[in-house]
Structure 1
């Protein structure tokens, strides 16, 4: 589990006195008799995500009768990296995520259903204020430590609650309107493809960067005939993965997270044990409606060692489906009426391609030592270069310098080659 040394965190002044008053008011503190003091620090001495700045606000509130210590987590449009802020603005990510938390998540609320994400307290100018999950004993795993069975099942259980909320909402609205209703009917403008578009510079850099690594480090790199076959299919395969992001009227769809790498999945543990007893998801900038299998396969591809994933695939798919069935049954919905198991299993196999390609886009960045991650991706020039101009050079450099990086990342790249490029 990841821990942070609070003493080494940098104090910052991006949150004003008026901001703190607004946060307190949003938290129910409207009594003028209270006094308070506060401190704002960087949320971690590690890099928690790639596109935002993260702060932690602690407020000590005093009244005549008591003293309370309140902790908040703040996610903000970057003030330290112009390239990151530019991406967030161009893709409308701040508005998309703040609308998800303040409007869509509210609509998805199911009474009695265990939470599947942090609670949004309020929004500030270019920042969102959340309950502090760390103060509630939720922690990140070491990103180099793959999920075992217990963590995978806990994450799938949370995913089933998230997806089940979508299904229940659609059914409820359909009954109210007395006609079929889709989440896209009401929130479609906030549920777009993001950067998963075949013409997007970021996606193109992912596609070409992975192919360049395959040309050099794949076990087929010396076989010109096989490499020619790989290259001839490559663009079509990546375009097909993008097409899986498009809505299909024939499939049951839910709001999918679509960014389920390790830092977006936080676990709570039983006292004095390493056994997880709860899990929540964070960072909903990439949300879009897709079949539930899209998220399930992405979670398994991003966080499990490949051999372990395949050995236990059937168990994990069955577990997710049974957990979704429980959520729906508890809300008087028959799962066979909305997602027959045959459909779920078929889409899971189809959406392997989505899982492995999105993982191939993400793993070259997150499978990097924290200090190196900060030095590279906190620099605006390097960030922009890797993001949209020359990702291949970054991947090749990392593979030349780090054997573990090369093995772990190439495992995913090679799976694309062997599942989808080479004629069996």
Structure 2
């Protein structure tokens, strides 16, 4: 049986783990279908992402054809295997410090079934995440159904989300958040250990990334005519940035807490379209950085990394209200027993955590829209402080597209006070 398709020249940069082989996949499918007679007769194993598209994991696509004694014809299936980065001691060590893979496996095996049960109990269940085929603790991996086989595809990463896409994502997110709030209220201990998001206090792994990205960003802005005053404020903010971000991530028991997705941007949502290319369904993926905290964290990250330029500038008020209305509707529909904030209270919280909007739009998005297919685009180049890492950041913040994004966002964040040292 063939073991792989002819590799795409770009995707070949992201090697597939050697343990993902026909024998391994056959064993997993036999367990999933409860059929020891299942036989794979054809298999294609290919990278699912290019280097630089996913810093924290390896994604492998597996397409199979197999025989089943209960079926007359050949069966086929397509699956994705998400696994730890191999042959990279630095990346593996940093991800281990964050407990990334064991936590995501626990989310799929323990948390998501409970959320689904809560939604089903009120007839509010819908597809929020892909179907899980296998969770393999030995290889730190998860096998999902490949939703592209059911016509789910990523949205246009260059354009960003329009209003229809954005509202569909927010509707799904509100349902996820509402169900998690109900679960957290019923079982207060279940989310207590989920305190390792991208800027939470339990880990220092990402501190060099944020501090050095701010330094390179400020340096780039200082060379943009008319924007020097923003650069000056950003340089002064360097020693305060991480603490301000952590305050935004701190869980507060006097406010509504939810299970924050933690990495909600374009590549972590898949859509299904109708014949007119209008989105009719969406599903969320990638929960490596989920934590228990304010729902506004997901909104700041989503708005400032994934919306079209037009919506980033003029659509956020409408989208915050839309999300809030969906959240309240779902909380009430699920019989939530805690206090539901008013829209005004929610807006106050949104402003209180607004520093993360600046961080997301000015220090995270530049890497997402990086157009340089450099071999330096890996986790080490983000977190380390050596010459290679500095060169990578210098390239990212030299990008004209990044400059245009900064020119639009910095005046907004400055007017809101998020560039000030004292805020």
- Report the CA distance between 1:159 and its aligned residue: 0.6
Question: Please, which of 407, 413, 418 is the counterpart of residue 420 of structure 1?
Answer: 418
Alignment of 1:174-213 (within 5 A): 181-182=187-188, 185-194=189-198, 196-197=200-201, 200=204, 202-213=206-217
Q: In structure 2, how many angstroms separate the alpha carbons of the residues matched to 1:95 and 1:314?
A: 37
| 8 A contact 2:128–2:283 mirrored in 1 | yes
- Report the CA distance between 1:197 and its aligned residue: 4.5
Return 57-66 or 407-416, whichever deviates more: 407-416
Q: What is the match of residue 118 of structure 1?
A: 130
CA separation of 1:212/1:24 partners in 2, compared to 1, >3 Å: closer, same or farther? closer
- Report the CA distance between 1:255 and its aligned residue: 0.3
Alignment TM-score, normalising by the size of structure 2: 0.83
| 8 A contact 1:58–1:69 mirrored in 2 | yes
CA separation of 1:61/1:276 partners in 2, compared to 1, >3 Å: closer, same or farther? same
| 8 A contact 2:304–2:365 mirrored in 1 | no
Q: What is the match of residue 131 of structure 1?
A: 145
- Report the CA distance between 1:415 and its aligned residue: 4.8
Question: Please, which of 37, 48, 51 is the counterpart of residue 32 of structure 1?
Answer: 37
Alignment TM-score, normalising by the size of structure 1: 0.83
Q: What secondary structure does 1:420 align onto?
A: coil
Return 21-30 or 345-354, whichever deviates more: 21-30
Q: What is the match of residue 342 of structure 1?
A: 344
CA separation of 1:193/1:333 partners in 2, compared to 1, >3 Å: closer, same or farther? closer
- Report the CA distance between 1:15 and its aligned residue: 1.2
The superposition leaves residues 205-241 of structure 1 with CA deviations (integer Å, 9 ceiling, x where unpaired) of 3223323432442478889887655543443244112
Q: How many pairs were matched up?
A: 401
Q: What is the match of residue 395 of structure 1?
A: 393
Structure 1 unaligned regions, length at least 5: 174-180
| 8 A contact 1:213–1:392 mirrored in 2 | no
| 8 A contact 2:40–2:66 mirrored in 1 | yes
- Report the CA distance between 1:6 and its aligned residue: 7.8
Question: Please, which of 2, 15, 19 is the counterpart of residue 24 of structure 2?
Answer: 19
- Report the CA distance between 1:32 and its aligned residue: 2.3
CA separation of 1:95/1:308 partners in 2, compared to 1, >3 Å: closer, same or farther? same
The superposition leaves residues 287-340 of structure 1 with CA deviations (integer Å, 9 ceiling, x where unpaired) of 1111212212221111124553242222111211222233234333489x4333
RMSD: 3.2
Query: More helix by proportion, 1 or 2?
Result: 1
- Does 1:243 pair with 2:263? no
CA separation of 1:135/1:47 partners in 2, compared to 1, >3 Å: closer, same or farther? farther
- Does 1:105 pair with 2:119? no
Structure 2 unaligned regions, length at least 5: none
Alignment of 1:16-415 (within 5 A): 16-32=21-37, 36-44=41-49, 47-64=52-69, 65-109=72-116, 110-111=119-120, 112=123, 113-124=125-136, 125-171=139-185, 173=186, 181-182=187-188, 185-194=189-198, 196-197=200-201, 200=204, 202-218=206-222, 230-270=234-274, 272-305=275-308, 307-333=310-336, 337-369=339-371, 372-373=372-373, 375-378=375-378, 383-389=379-385, 393-400=391-398, 402-409=399-406, 411-412=408-409, 415=412
Q: What secondary structure does 2:282 align onto?
A: strand
